[in-house]
């Protein structure tokens, strides 16, 4: 399921009568094939912005006559809270709560990038928040196999500077190691209670990535013991297919092959207010970052 397909499925579900659809606010502007969730809300859909998936569980408790669906997307970082919502709903015996699940995993995506014939990547800053949950053992065989330094890095500007410094230093010294710049948050084994919960609630599944295609074992789906909480099954939207905008080169941007401003839609058809692709949606996305912080320095087109 691509990001576009997940939004299309969310739109179908959110438009269903007697459904309360809960989501983080930034997902409401992500475009589907024909409209976004904000338009569904404007048309009268009961879409509620929540700050935690557990808020959606509370909404389900308070509205037993409605089906409540939470849009559960993101990397390993957001997965424990989403897993907890399902775990909690099962513990409470709720039958009107489900999640539309589209989690993706970092290490298989790194391997897909590194094994591509077009690969230009010589080193990785591994995202500190992901490693806070998962630890960094998974990266050690990747660094060794593809001979790339990997430095687990935090998010403050000085963290990123130090992460780049550590990566370049490894390259200059001919070393290939996994180093931890973000030791104040990340332990090698990660957050063990969170990982235990993830392994109970989710199983790894193949996932389609925008512009890249299917990467084996690169996503989470609900384990069979939690399948009653799978919105795709509750609402029968499993086979929905959607084509990406032909303007969007997010796949190439995500692979480091093109810069965001080399996309013909950058800052024109595609802006943070009206994004065409996922990298323009979140402030962490490459296209949004170029839009907010890099436009003044870009060559005029
Ligand atoms: S600028 Fe927009 S359309 Fe272009 S690659 Fe980025 S997200 Fe896609």
In the prediction, which pLDDT does 126 show? Answer: 97
Dist CA 122 CA 113 (whole Å): 11
148 CA to centre of ligand 1 in angstroms:
28
**Which are the contacts of 288, defined by CB distance < 8 A and separation ≥ 6?**
272, 275, 279, 280, 281, 282
* Tens of pLDDT, residues 38-84: 999 999 999 999 999 999 999 999 999 999 999 999 899 999 999 99
In a domain, 243, yes or no: no
In the prediction, which pLDDT does 294 show? Answer: 78
In a domain, 240, yes or no: no
> Are 170 and 229 within one domain?
no
In a domain, 134, yes or no: yes
> At how many degrees (to 10) do helices 79-92 and 53-62 cross?
20
173 CA to centre of ligand 1 in angstroms:
36
In the prediction, which pLDDT does 299 show? Answer: 62
Residue 129 token pair: 């928040």
In a domain, 187, yes or no: no
263 CA to centre of ligand 1 in angstroms:
6
Per DSSP bridges, beta strands 124-127 and 46-49 are unpaired
110 CA to centre of ligand 1 in angstroms:
21
Which one of 280, 283, 286 would you pick to mutate in the ligand 1 pocket, going by the greatest count of ligand atoms within 8 A of its CB?
280
Determine contact, residues 234/242, Cβ cutoff 8 Å: no
276 CA to centre of ligand 1 in angstroms:
6
Dist CA 265 CA 253 (whole Å): 13
Going across the sheet that includes 213-222, the strands are: 46-49, 19-23, 67-74, 97-104, 213-222, 202-209
In a domain, 185, yes or no: no
DSSP 236: T
> Are 133 and 215 within one domain?
no
Given the CA of residue 281, which atom of ligand 1 is nearest to it?
7
Given the CA of residue 291, which atom of ligand 1 is nearest to it?
1
> Are 122 and 79 within one domain?
no
Beta bridge partners of 99: 70, 230
Output the domain CATH number for residue 110.
3.40.50.11750
Determine contact, residues 45/69, Cβ cutoff 8 Å: no
Which one of 2, 249, 264 would you pick to mutate in the ligand 1 pocket, going by the greatest count of ligand atoms within 8 A of its CB?
249
Beta bridge partners of 215: 207
> Are 214 and 96 within one domain?
yes
In the prediction, which pLDDT does 298 show? Answer: 62
**Which are the contacts of 244, defined by CB distance < 8 A and separation ≥ 6?**
2, 4, 210, 211, 250, 277
Residue 12 belongs to what domain range?
3-105+192-234
Residue 20 token pair: 């309360």
> Are 114 and 164 within one domain?
yes
Determine contact, residues 153/128, Cβ cutoff 8 Å: yes
Phi, then psi, of 158 in degrees rounded to 5: -70, -30
> Are 18 and 165 within one domain?
no
> Are 119 and 152 within one domain?
yes
In the prediction, which pLDDT does 81 show? Answer: 97
> Are 43 and 122 within one domain?
no
Query: Taking CB atoms and a 6 Å cutoff, what residues make up the pocket around ligand 1?
Result: 247-250, 253, 260, 263, 265-266, 270, 275-277, 279-280, 287
> Are 96 and 158 within one domain?
no
120 CA to centre of ligand 1 in angstroms:
20
Given the CA of residue 245, which atom of ligand 1 is nearest to it?
3
Which one of 252, 270, 301 would you pick to mutate in the ligand 1 pocket, going by the greatest count of ligand atoms within 8 A of its CB?
270
Q: Which pLDDT tens digits describe the chain residue by residue (301 residues)? A: 677 888 999 999 999 999 999 999 888 888 888 888 999 999 999 999 999 999 999 999 999 999 999 999 989 999 999 999 999 999 999 999 999 999 999 999 999 999 999 898 999 999 999 999 999 999 999 999 999 999 999 999 999 999 999 999 999 999 999 999 999 999 999 999 999 999 999 999 999 887 778 999 999 999 999 999 999 999 988 777 777 788 999 888 988 889 999 999 999 999 988 888 888 887 778 999 999 987 656 665 4
Which one of 275, 288, 291 would you pick to mutate in the ligand 1 pocket, going by the greatest count of ligand atoms within 8 A of its CB?
275
In a domain, 245, yes or no: no
Output the domain CATH number for residue 15.
3.40.50.11740
> How many domains would you assign to the chain?
3
260 CB-side CA count, 13 A: 25
Dist CA 119 CA 134 (whole Å): 25
266 CA to centre of ligand 1 in angstroms:
6
> Are 135 and 96 within one domain?
no
> Are 98 and 210 within one domain?
yes
> Are 269 and 293 within one domain?
yes
In a domain, 222, yes or no: yes
In the prediction, which pLDDT does 295 show? Answer: 67
In a domain, 202, yes or no: yes
Of 81, 66, 70, give the one whose Cα is nearest residue 19.
66
């Amino acid at each position: 399921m691509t990001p576009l397909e997940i939004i299309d499925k969310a739109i179908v579900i959110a438009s269903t009568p007697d459904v309360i659809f809960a989501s983080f606010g930034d997902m409401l502007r992500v475009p589907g094939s024909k409209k976004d969730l904000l338009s569904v809300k404007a048309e009268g859909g009961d879409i509620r912005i929540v700050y935690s998936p557990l808020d959606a569980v509370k909404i389900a408790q308070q509205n037993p006559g409605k089906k409540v669906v939470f849009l559960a997307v993101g990397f390993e970082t957001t997965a424990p809270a989403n897993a907890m919502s399902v775990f909690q709903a099962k513990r409470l015996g709720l039958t009107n709560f489900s999640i539309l699940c589209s989690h993706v995993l970092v290490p298989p995506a790194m391997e897909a990038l590194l094994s591509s014939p077009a690969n230009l990547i010589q080193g990785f800053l591994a995202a500190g928040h992901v490693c806070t949950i998962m630890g960094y053992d998974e990266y050690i065989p990747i660094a060794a196999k593809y001979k790339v330094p990997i430095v687990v890095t935090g998010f403050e500007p000085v963290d990123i500077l130090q992460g780049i410094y550590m990566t370049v230093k490894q390259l200059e010294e001919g070393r290939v190691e996994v180093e931890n710049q973000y030791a104040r948050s990340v332990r090698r084994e990660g957050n063990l209670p969170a990982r235990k919960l993830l392994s109970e609630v989710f199983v790894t599944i193949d996932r389609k990535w925008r512009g890249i295609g299917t990467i084996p074992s690169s996503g989470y789906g609900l384990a069979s013991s939690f399948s009653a909480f799978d919105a795709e099954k509750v609402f029968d939207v499993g086979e929905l297919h959607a084509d990406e905008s032909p303007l969007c080169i997010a796949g190439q941007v995500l692979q480091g092959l093109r810069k965001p401003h080399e996309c013909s839609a950058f800052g024109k058809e595609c802006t943070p207010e009206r994004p065409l692709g996922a990298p323009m949606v979140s402030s962490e996305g490459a296209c949004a970052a170029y839009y907010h912080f890099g436009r003044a320095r870009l060559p005029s087109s």
